[in-house]
């Protein structure tokens, strides 16, 4: 078993005064693989103070030098690729392929923001175009300050990269809290900070749960900005905490995203994209397209094609390259999904494939993939984020109905449209209320394109230039020419 994981503050590994600890569990073997220390408000305070001391120096370094550190982070992650994929798979239950995507997207993000940091330096002090000949106006973008970053467990490396990389590129210093469920992969970031000789205090990593670290971090007056990815329940608490002191807050929250299959779609191709949209990472994806909307004329054949594919999914050891789907990331998440399956039974939902129809591996926190059809729009499974391998389907008879059903949700994170007619797919996509809409493809994530949601899916955008702006304050200097 690995040793107790310590706090990383001011470039030192330090024990917490809090004597509580939590086991870190391998959800396939159902064994403890490490112990994570449960930090407390004193650890948060020490980390915020370290980040504050480091701030002026890190800002003064400039974008070019900060970009070099971010490139070094990307290189160091790439050097650890195999080991990190295994660690992530073991801690998270992800298949190796899913762990590879988490890591590769994270590396791409560090590289993208390394470039953005250099562009930032280049554009500092540029002239503002305006109509007054005798007035000079220049624009600067300064870092927001000391930022508190909080992430969930489903894609540990990528959700943290989407915050840490732009924050460091902007010149902010960071106090970062990973999920207590999957602290192992992100602990590597502290090792990398030491390896690349990141200046002390620029990146601090504090382990603990919501009560011990999350709440003190969000309410700490020394934090200038908060960025949170996780559930709506906690996101709203974070927003309330940010209201004290009128601090800026960005939220990446839940989703209940639609996938729309129009009447001219190729059924076999559509079935492949639908499978990838909901069963990838055992359904634990914020952008999971968990509401299938299919034209009446295709529904039966599409459900049959999906049923065959669901039966072919191989559940098993996530470290085995033959495995398609690993266990849920924790016993708690398995129980939460099972609760929804019980609700589906109570609601009398029509089953195409139900999770109890197949034998599960002898060990592991598994939930088998399921598919329900003709799901009423007032079903809890249609409206709430399940965060598991559960697909709900209903059919429509016109494009207008499909758009109305797709948009009838509290969330608006993502959507997919499938049609043989590309222009039609894009037109329908344009009518959907979501931050990212894919047409005729699996879910492609580009560091250059924004990520974030309409409605209850969040506030703000990560990735792209928007992800960097989130950590910048705009400053104009104006006077006589």
H-only helix segments in 131-250 = 156-170, 183-195, 215-219, 232-243
Tell me: does residue 18 bind ligand NAD (CB under 6 A). Answer: no
172 is catalytic: no
Q: Name the minimum Å distance from CB 411 to ligand NAD.
A: 9
Residue count, binding to ligand NAD (CB under 6 A) = 29
Quick check: 470 binds ligand NAD (CB under 6 A)?
Answer: no
CB of 245 to ligand NAD, least distance (A): 16
> To the nearest whole angstrom, how small is the minimum distance from the Cβ of residue 457 to ligand NAD?
6
* Contact code string over 409-438 relative to ligand NAD, x by CB under 6 A: ----x-------------------------
Among 11, 90, 218, 248, binds ligand NAD (CB under 6 A): 218
| Dihedral angle sign, alpha carbons of residues 110, 112, 113, 118 | positive
- Which helix (H) or strand (E) covers residue 150, if one does? strand 146-150
Catalytic residue of the set 98, 141, 172, 286: 286
Residue closer to ligand NAD (CB basis): 114 or 328? 328
Beta carbons within 8 Å of 246's beta carbon, 6+ residues apart: none
Closer by beta carbon to ligand NAD, 141 or else 180: 180
23 or 125: CB nearest ligand NAD? 23
Q: Is 185 in the site for ligand NAD (CB under 6 A)?
A: no
Is 215 among the residues that bind ligand NAD (CB under 6 A)? yes
Assess contact for 36 and 233: CB atoms under 8 A: no
Residue by residue, DSSP assigns 325-373 as: B---SSHHHHHHHHHHHHHHHHHTPEEEE-GGGSPPPSSS-----EEEE
Q: How many CA atoms lie within 13 A of 149 on its CB side?
A: 30
In the set 145, 214, 277, 460, which binds ligand NAD (CB under 6 A)?
214
Of residues 238 and 294, the one with the C-beta less far from ligand NAD = 238
* 286 in active site: yes
Question: What residues contact residue 103 under an 8 Å CB cut-off, 6+ apart?
Answer: 77, 81, 84, 85, 88, 157, 158
385 binds ligand NAD (CB under 6 A): yes
* Interface map 222-261 toward ligand NAD (x if CB under 6 A): -------xxx--x--xx-------------xxxx------
Whole-angstrom CA distances from 282 to 162, 191, 228 are 22, 29, 23
Residue 209 interacts with ligand NAD (CB under 6 A): yes or no: yes
Name the strand (E) or helix (H) holding 175: strand 173-177
Q: Residue 85: enclosing H or E segment and its boundaries? A: helix 81-92
- Does 92 participate in binding ligand NAD (rule CB under 6 A)? no
């Amino acid at each position: 078993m690995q040793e107790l994981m310590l706090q990383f503050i001011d470039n030192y590994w330090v024990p917490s005064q809090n004597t509580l600890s939590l086991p870190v569990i391998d959800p396939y073997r159902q064994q403890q693989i490490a112990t994570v220390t449960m930090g407390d408000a004193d650890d948060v305070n020490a980390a915020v103070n370290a980040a504050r001391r480091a701030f002026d120096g890190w800002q003064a370094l400039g974008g070019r030098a900060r970009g070099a550190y971010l490139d070094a982070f990307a290189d160091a992650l790439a050097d650890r690729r195999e080991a990190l994929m295994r660690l992530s798979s073991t801690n998270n239950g992800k298949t190796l392929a899913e762990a590879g995507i988490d890591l590769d997207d994270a590396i791409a993000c560090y590289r993208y923001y390394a470039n953005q940091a250099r562009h930032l330096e280049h554009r500092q002090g540029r002239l503002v175009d305006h109509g007054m000949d005798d007035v000079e106006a220049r624009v600067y973008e300064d870092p927001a300050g000391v930022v508190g970053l909080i992430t969930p467990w489903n894609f540990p490396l990528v959700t943290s990269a989407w915050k840490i990389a732009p924050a460091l590129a902007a010149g902010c210093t960071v106090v970062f809290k990973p999920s207590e469920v999957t602290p192992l992969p992100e602990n590597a970031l502290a090792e990398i900070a030491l390896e690349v000789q990141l200046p002390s205090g620029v990146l601090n990593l504090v382990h603990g749960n919501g009560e011990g670290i999350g709440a003190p971090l969000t309410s700490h007056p020394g934090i200038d900005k908060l960025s949170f990815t996780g559930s709506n329940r906690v996101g709203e608490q974070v927003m309330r905490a940010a209201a004290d002191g009128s601090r800026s807050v960005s939220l990446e929250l839940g989703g209940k995203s639609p996938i729309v299959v129009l009447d001219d779609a190729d059924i076999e191709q559509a079935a492949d994209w639908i499978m990838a949209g909901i069963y990838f990472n055992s359904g634990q994806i914020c952008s999971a397209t968990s509401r299938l909307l299919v034209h009446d004329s295709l529904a039966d054949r599409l459900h049959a094609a999906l049923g065959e594919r669901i039966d072919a999914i191989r559940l098993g050891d996530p470290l085995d390259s033959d495995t398609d789907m690993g266990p849920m990331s924790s016993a708690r998440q398995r129980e939460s999904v099972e609760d929804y399956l019980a609700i589906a039974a109570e609601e009398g939902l029509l089953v195409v494939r139900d999770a109890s129809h197949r034998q599960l591996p002898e060990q592991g926190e598994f939930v088998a993939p399921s598919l329900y059809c003709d799901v009423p729009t007032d079903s809890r499974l249609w409206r709430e984020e399940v965060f598991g391998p559960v697909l709900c389907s209903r059919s429509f008879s016109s494009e207008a109905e499909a758009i109305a059903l797709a948009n009838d949700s509290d969330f608006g994170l993502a959507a997919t449209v499938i049609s043989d007619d590309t222009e039609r797919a894009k037109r329908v996509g344009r009518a959907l209320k979501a931050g990212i809409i894919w047409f005729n493809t699996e879910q492609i994530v580009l560091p250059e394109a924004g990520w974030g949601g309409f409605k209850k899916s969040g506030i703000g955008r990560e990735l792209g230039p928007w992800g960097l702006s989130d950590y910048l304050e705009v400053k104009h200097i104006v006077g006589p020419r």
